Structure 1
């Protein structure tokens, strides 16, 4: 008999916006955005009432307002969201300590062995959802499966307030019907490329050879190949090594003059050095992120043999990366820099995880 792990992916529904609607009854049932409505503002989170109009997080506030003229904007309260998140994770820890946080409102839980001795992972997911609703007056969606990829897909499947289980016996059938856009790691650009190659869903992805996927998608080819077959050996990591430190700034006005761009790049690099020092982080790869006036985005990276911690090293490298960016005819809206590839993350360690096996009878 093949043995599988029991993985739950928990994701709070419209977290920031739901907290605001919970705490402010006058906002309930109304389209709400957490963020700022001014010209350069961005939506941090949108309620489900706002999402019906097409409003999404990371959308420019002006566009969101055009889509939904009645949209209510309120500033975020990060201290409140962090406190609510702390209480959510306390609930998680009542069932397992094998928890991988992804954000304030999202996590993987491995409940193969759990604190209450419950055989069915779906029952634990139901119990966590119930407690979040009763104790915090918030709604979560949960996905249950035998690996992280499928648990994540399952939690997105019936949002909001969803609960979906993908049993090992039904995984292949489920993946076959899954649109390519729903695969973890497939964004709009990759989805478009896949469609030009005749890849539309899990069925057509599974028909692709590993060699073909590696040719077109590089290292991600192996990931897509495995996902199409329901394979994901990554464990739920209770301790996550920080893999990057970065910062970015959205400019008050789009800029095209070289002198203005260099000044803004200097400010971002200076802030990055401060954050690296606070975090005690040392990495060898510098990445430049540029978002243009039309929200198209590019990144450029360079890796050095030495650690990147000082401004007089980072700034010249950032300027070098900027040389390849055409911004005189495409005004810049946002500039970001990050340092990654920490010394602790040795390339030879990758792929060394072994998925432990435990037997269970059902889900």
Structure 2
């Protein structure tokens, strides 16, 4: 319900009005209490929601704004317990122990509800699955909190009326198969004889589903909030305007921060620069990294980039560099789809992010660990003009290389006779290669299996850019750009 509070703070005319917050694909993410009174629930499509409420207002779901607002709630919860696991702006898990747990949770929920002036639904159970089910039953309509607790031994009864979609382990294909058998609720799933369930799904998944149906969820509450941060600041003796002095301060902060990260064997995934201006105001800029780092040069380069984005026009009193998303280097957080934290990004920025993560995966798990979907289908005429080098090819060529294996000359339009390759009377069309601009290793689909290839991006003397690929002893021309 944090989205409801945010929108009513931004748009006061929404108070006492039924409205929903919908995702880009038209699914209800959150509904106001007035809309919930009309039967609208999370997960419905907007068409059904509008049919249930004639005067319903539909607004887009602003994920980044709601998450920023929810961080204050997570901070309040983190005061009471050290195990806080935010899932999204609307859902958060926390683990409580000690005496008077229910009384403490009631007081905490009432405090949050009073601060936000929206209803707070709280569920208490032995596992995360049971607690979420209890929270769904706890649906107050007024700006208050309501706590539902599921006692030991009542887990299966609490889950019985819930639909199968409540279990994340059931994908769309399995959901459709079970629905055809008349199994639409978790209670019906629990009532299936073990042998019948194992005939429908594989043995490990069947055992997991039976455990989930009675509330046995082995997933612990992870300690994800508050996020670990490392701060390094520099206070100037006098107000500073010279860029060189500011960069020297940032360089010192970057070196100290990188040393702290390396000392504990950690990497950071985000950097923020906060600057205190001469008038006492603070400005901040943040960047999420393509790959985790603890390198001094990389941290300083990003700090300089953040400083340029701030476009400061007055003197500076203090600079502070903050590293967040700190974790061990082995646990790399991929940023394939959202490198700009919900903001729009350019295609080349997304491509840079994608290439960085693919390199990380292939370096750790091998060159064939990630396969492009384009390699799994044969080229078709409609695809010929959609390649990155203007025109896509798959032509066998003969290439002469230097002692280091780099191509220096290419022959096209080779002839064939009696199954053996031979050159034409002119020896094929000879093309001189005057520079290799890029080289990389990739995985390709060849003769029904995945093979490792060497790819070269080269500049030719008369035909523009070529992309050459070597598979074993064979060379192929994969792309051309004029």
TM category (shorter chain) comes to: 0.5 to 0.7
> Is 1:84 aligned to residue 146 of structure 2?
no
Give the Cα separation in 2 of the matches to 1:47 and 1:220.
37
Q: Identify if the C-alpha distance between structure 1 residues 151 and 281 changes in structure 2 by more than 3 Å, giving closer, same or farther.
A: farther
Q: Identify if the C-alpha distance between structure 1 residues 274 and 103 changes in structure 2 by more than 3 Å, giving closer, same or farther.
A: farther
Match of 2:56 among 71, 74, 77: 71
2:374 matched residue in structure 1: 316
Q: Deviations over 1:150-205 (max 9, x none)?
A: 11111111224442111113334434x43443742257765553343353545543
Give the Cα separation in 2 of the matches to 1:19 and 1:321.
50
Q: Do 1:129 and 1:140's aligned partners in 2 also have CA atoms closer than 8 Å?
A: yes
TM-aligned CA deviation for residue 283 of structure 1:
4.7
Match of 2:123 among 132, 140, 143: 143
TM-aligned CA deviation for residue 82 of structure 1:
2.9
Structure ID, larger Rg: 2
> Is 1:105 aligned to residue 85 of structure 2?
no
Q: Do 1:22 and 1:28's aligned partners in 2 also have CA atoms closer than 8 Å?
A: no
- The structure that is strand-richer by fraction is 2
Moved more, 145-154 or 201-210: 201-210
Number of equivalent positions: 261
Q: Deviations over 1:225-253 (max 9, x none)?
A: 102233222211225967765549xxxxx
1:34 matched residue in structure 2: 21
Q: Do 1:180 and 1:191's aligned partners in 2 also have CA atoms closer than 8 Å?
A: no
Q: Do 1:143 and 1:165's aligned partners in 2 also have CA atoms closer than 8 Å?
A: yes
Give the alignment's TM-score, normalised by structure 1.
0.57
2:258 matched residue in structure 1: none
Moved more, 204-213 or 95-104: 204-213
Q: Identify if the C-alpha distance between structure 1 residues 246 and 138 changes in structure 2 by more than 3 Å, giving closer, same or farther.
A: farther
Q: Do 2:178 and 2:184's aligned partners in 1 also have CA atoms closer than 8 Å?
A: yes
Give the alignment's TM-score, normalised by structure 2.
0.44
- The structure that is helix-richer by fraction is 1
Q: Identify if the C-alpha distance between structure 1 residues 28 and 280 changes in structure 2 by more than 3 Å, giving closer, same or farther.
A: farther
1:95 matched residue in structure 2: 80
Q: Any stretches of 5+ residues in structure 2 without a counterpart?
A: 225-326, 339-344, 381-482
Give the Cα separation in 2 of the matches to 1:128 and 1:280.
44
Q: Do 1:157 and 1:164's aligned partners in 2 also have CA atoms closer than 8 Å?
A: yes
1:231 matched residue in structure 2: 216
TM-aligned CA deviation for residue 320 of structure 1:
4.1
Match of 2:183 among 196, 199, 218: 199
Match of 2:105 among 120, 125, 143: 125
| RMSD, matched Cα | 4.3
Q: Return the structure number with greater relative CO, CA threshold 8 A, min gap 6.
A: 1
TM-aligned CA deviation for residue 268 of structure 1:
11
Which secondary structure does the structure 1 equivalent of 2:72 belong to?
Answer: helix
Q: Identify if the C-alpha distance between structure 1 residues 277 and 56 changes in structure 2 by more than 3 Å, giving closer, same or farther.
A: farther
Give the Cα separation in 2 of the matches to 1:322 and 1:208.
47
Moved more, 153-162 or 42-51: 42-51
1:166 matched residue in structure 2: 150
Q: Identify if the C-alpha distance between structure 1 residues 229 and 72 changes in structure 2 by more than 3 Å, giving closer, same or farther.
A: closer
Q: Deviations over 1:255-297 (max 9, x none)?
A: xxxxxxxxxxxx999775444468799558xxxxxxxxxxxxx
Which secondary structure does the structure 2 equivalent of 1:178 belong to?
Answer: coil
